[in-house]
Structure 1
Amino acid sequence: MNNPHAALVEAPRQSGNEIARRIDASVIVPVYNCEPWLRTLLASVLEQEGVELEVIAVCDGATDGSLAILEAIATADPRVRVVAQENRGVSASRNVGLALARGEWVVFADGDDWVKPGALRRWIEHGRQNNLDVVIGNGFAFDTLPAPARPSPMYEHQPWGEICDGRTWMLRTVPDDDWVVCVWLQCMRRDFVERFGLRFEEGVVHEDIIWTLQFAQHAQRMGFVEEPLYGYRHNPNSIINAPSESSLARRAHGYLRVIDALASAASARREDRPFYRLLLRQINREGGNFLHLLRKRLQSSELRRHYARAFLDKGNIRVMLRGATNASEVWRALRCWRTLSRFVQTSSPATR
């Protein structure tokens, strides 16, 4: 491995037959301070039946006992490969996993989640039977295990039972705000990932949106499994839920980068008017998310002013207006302009 920041913690020596075995799926798990839940997640993956798999667990500078847990599990199960690196973020961790992956399919899981029995076999069978580049699964949210017997699905408006390309998928799902950007619901052929050099943008929060936009523009055959098979744990300490000002500032920066990526993709597809308009509409939605973060979460007036100015200076209000398809979306853009302009002009906390 060429990454000087990472060190591979070797599992027990494998026999020649084990090394040569066919690997159906490489499950990539970025790990940062997941000690209370890590054994549960890994057990749910390693107990999957009907698939030959490897787990590539990337310990991203964890300060708890996560690395010790990973090393112990790798010692007992040669299917587990552990990488220990200094903290570089979830995108860098997933990229390390992609570089090491050997499976026919690539799947992602987070260290505090849970995978339902039979999930990987179901996704991969669907992918093989239909010669797919990407399988989109379904998930459910939970607080504690055991999971509900009939959990509520996270997504309801996917093209269930159909095969389509990535462009069509986005045209069908983005308008309903049902676009699946959760990477742990995306199972894709590794040769598809490598053919197009797909990697996560490092150092950016909300990187899953950029990643999904990237692969959707290349995927020719996508399929969908409606049954919710992946459990997403409500974790108040996750990156998205962390209340610290530094975490919120990283999220604000992430939204700016997401909007830049959407705008760049829209510019490149200007001749494809339906897709171009779709991307502008998503910018309108992400602008609303950015505004909510600054109004409701970020308390530092200096940080609010900094990110509000960056948003306005990029001309994003104009783009949001071009992407508006109804009165509500026009109002969202105008509200962004009014509120962010106020943040730029004053250092006092927002009153709304």
Structure 2
Amino acid sequence: MKASIMPSISIIVPVYNAEKYLEACLESLENQTLSDIEIICIDDGSTDESFEILKRHAQKDTRLRLYAQENAGVSAARNRGLDLVQGRYVMFVDSDDIIAAQACELLMKQAQSHHSEIIVFAGKTFPTTKWKDSCWATRTVHYSASESVFALLNEAGSIPLMCNKLYANALIKRTNARFNTSLKLGEDHAFQMNIFPFAHGISYLNECLYFYRGHDESAVNQANQDWDEQARLHLEIVKYVIASWQKLNIIAKYNEALLRWVSDFFFDAARKCSFNTRQEVGAELKQLLHDTFDSALESTLDDTQWHNLHFIIDTPNVRNPKPLITFIYTRIADEKLSKHVLMSALMQYEQRIEIRIDNGYKTPELAKLVEHDVRATFYDKAQSSQLLDTITSPYVIFAQSNSAYMEGCVNHIFDRLHMIEYKNECAEKGVKPTPLARERYIRGEHFFPADVVVFNDSAKIVRNEDPFFALTPNYQLSYSSEKIYSYEALAPRVYNVVSLSPENKAYHVDFLKKHHEIWNAQQEFSMAYGALNVSACLPYARAILLMDRALLVTHSLTIKRASAASDYGKRITEMLEQTSTRNDVEQSTDTSGFYAALGSYLLALDDSINNYSIYEEIFPFMQACARNIQAHLGSTTWEDKDEIAQWNSLCTFSSQEHFNTKSNLHVNRLTEANTEALDELSAAWGNAARLDSMVHEFYHSISYKTGRVVTYPVRYLYYNIQKLIRR
């Protein structure tokens, strides 16, 4: 087909070793329903058959213009294409992707109907990649020139992708827009940040026109494999964008929006990288922001953006104060501590933590994680009896190898403790609590010193019981609205309420040190001895805080060898025998509640092993323990019918029959929990949609636009005065 002198659309295709997918890509371009296009292919030094494929297509379709260069990277190839385009509009297609046959035709119609200089459209990844599929346009809407930065930072599809946009060539020439060849990642994102602010109208089209191929060789997939490198590359993008906006003389006009972008853009990579790298990039980002923005601008951030930003820039100082909480991972048998479980502690939003890991868990993979996080260390099993003396944090969690904690676990615990202490102080002083004063208070070091903080797990495997399931309030005892109870207030169902599992509790270290002699320091709060130590400590607790929140995800216990499984079963039997013969249990007037809790704990262990070949070795010990506990239970049972069914199955069925029964019941619990979560998510989604509509209406209102225009000179003057003062 013959090329037009000035085609409607120029399509730039950078090509490097794409022989596997190039034919499909070119066919999708050559068969566009809009024929008035040119296809500019830049072969970036391919060493496979890509150039030969391009030559064949160029010979049969004169609209395809072929150029070759030595390998210089995708940004250099795209820049070469921008130097050569002749069309009124420009779009970019990667050599392994496909566009819909009507893509160019629909995009030209959209551009002409609104006289837009950027058109953003929808697409689809294959195979499906969720985060990339969140980067397409989701609705059809138009923004004027004065709304370009708002559209850039708030409308879905604007960033980070390059492939889902059509640009007016006039806009590219007017801004001299080019890709930064020094950026190893995020060159697409940086390009959008520099060109969007100058667009005379931006349209969004909710039409799926682009098909993005995901495969292991792609640049994006390779970059995502190293989060430390990602964080450093994100910092380079931030530096480049800030420098560009300063050079383009638009930073004063859009400084609030730019600071919000920095917080949103940088947070995800900083959260996932190692702590040591976060210290490094956080210090550099903090200095960059200090040199660029007035500190008063932070007041324009919403709460989430403020906390996200300070999560990054406050990292260098996080080791100076003592940690708030210590996670201790103790190895029992031959079970494995997965990277995912350890990462759940390392990636807590509250960074003032420390982590102690049993040397028995040490693998090259975990050793690498610990090497890159100064908060984590391995400890020798022989020194476990002195371990508590080395803890400097006020609280400790005895985590298990199958216990993953929600990223906000530590935040939720201390937010609650801070809130209780703040209310207590307000009551003592006779002042009314206020949100601002509470926020300042929470940032301090004051918190309510509960002896034990108890929380739930998402799948309800730990089995915390509602405190009022079998309790009748007693006027002689105090029942706090903050759900703080003494051991006596919860007796005789205290063990049912808090569970005998060790992993769903944070213990005050001073409380443990005070009663050090009553818990098994040598064997610690391990899975196989958890009930023994929990039951030993709780009678001394004067302040037990119950948090009605799931902060824990319990995974399957990974035991690699059958012999280790047998040893684990023996340890369970030993622990249960020691626990059930403790003096205070034998002397209790109502031991049935304790044995019901012991039965629940046994069921939690029962749920934690999902490999049948391993479970078969442990089952005889589990069933013997269950029958022993059953003899003490009497008429006391549980509130949950599934728990009753699992218990009866454990006591009476064979290993295979029971394994099938407990697996089905576990699926039922997960389904129920997921249904509740989906209902909550659906309600939240509806609220978010309504809020989004209100925000969009506000930012398009005449009063908002007028206010921005009227206040711009004042804001510009204020910013420049502050900049002069800092210099």
Instruction: Please state which band the TM-score falls in when normalised by the shorter chain.
Output: 0.7 to 0.9
Q: How far apart are the structure 1 equivalents of 2:93 and 2:149?
A: 23
CA contact (8 A) 2:9 2:88 kept: yes
- Equivalent residue in structure 2 for 1:335, among 308, 311, 323: 311
Give the one of 81, 88, 95 matched to 2:65: 81
1:249-264 equivalence runs, <5 A: 251-264=230-243
Structure 1 residues 1-352: aligned runs within 5 Å? 18=2, 21-143=5-127, 154-155=135-136, 160-165=140-145, 167-172=146-151, 174-175=153-154, 179-204=158-183, 205-242=185-222, 251-264=230-243, 268-269=249-250, 271-272=252-253, 275-292=254-271, 294-295=273-274, 307=281, 310-315=284-289, 322=298, 325-339=301-315, 348-350=371-373
Secondary structure (helix, strand or coil) at the match of 2:66 reads: strand
Choose between structure 1 and 2 for higher RCO, CA contacts under 8 A separated by at least 6 residues.
Answer: 1
Instruction: Write the distance in 1 (CA, Å) between the matches of 2:173 and 2:152.
Output: 26
Q: Deviations over 1:288-325 (max 9, x none)?
A: 133145339xxxx7x77765654455347996982872
Find the aligned partners of 2:223 and 2:192 in 1 and give their Cα distance.
Answer: 26
Residues 89 and 203 in structure 1, CA contact (< 8 A), matched pair in contact too: no
| TM-score, L = length of structure 2 | 0.39
Distance 2:219 2:269 in 1: 16
**CA contact under 8 A between 1:92 and 1:200: conserved in structure 2?**
yes
8 Å Cα contact 1:27-1:54 kept in structure 2: yes
Q: Distance in 2 between matches of 1:323 and 1:124?
A: 42
RMSD: 3.4
The whole-number CA distance in structure 1 between the counterparts of 2:71 and 2:290 is 32
- Structure 1 residue runs without a partner (length 5+): 1-13, 145-151
**Residues 111 and 20 (structure 1 numbering): CA distance in 2 closer, same or farther, change over 3 Å?**
closer
Q: Secondary structure at the match of 2:10?
A: strand
Gaps in structure 2 of 5+ consecutive residues: 320-368, 377-406, 408-727
Q: Is the 8 A contact 1:55 1:79 kept in 2?
A: yes
1:126 CA drift (Å)? 1.5
CA 1:240/1:342 → structure 2, altered by over 3 Å: closer, same or farther?
A: farther
CA distance in 2, matches of 1:175, 1:143: 27
Structure 2 distance, partners of 1:132, 1:244, is 34
SS in 1 for 2:159: coil
Tell me: CA distance 1:195–1:328, structure 2 relative to 1, closer, same or farther (3 Å).
closer
Tell me by how many angstroms 1:249 deviates.
7.1
- 2:484 paired residue number: none
Q: Distance in 2 between matches of 1:65 and 1:188?
A: 31
- CA shift for structure 1 position 331: 2.5
- Contact 1:30–1:111 (CA<8 Å) still a contact in 2? yes
State TM-score, norm by structure 1: 0.77
Larger Rg: 2
Q: State the number of aligned residues.
A: 317
Distance, in Å, in 2 between the alignment partners of 1:102 and 1:108 is 14
Tell whether the 8 Å contact from 2:22 to 2:95 is kept in structure 1 after alignment.
yes
Q: What amino acid does structure 1 have at the position aligned with 2:64? A: V
Q: Do the aligned partners of residues 315 and 112 (structure 1) sit closer, same or farther apart at CA in structure 2, a change above 3 Å counting? A: same
CA contact (8 A) 1:284 1:324 kept: no
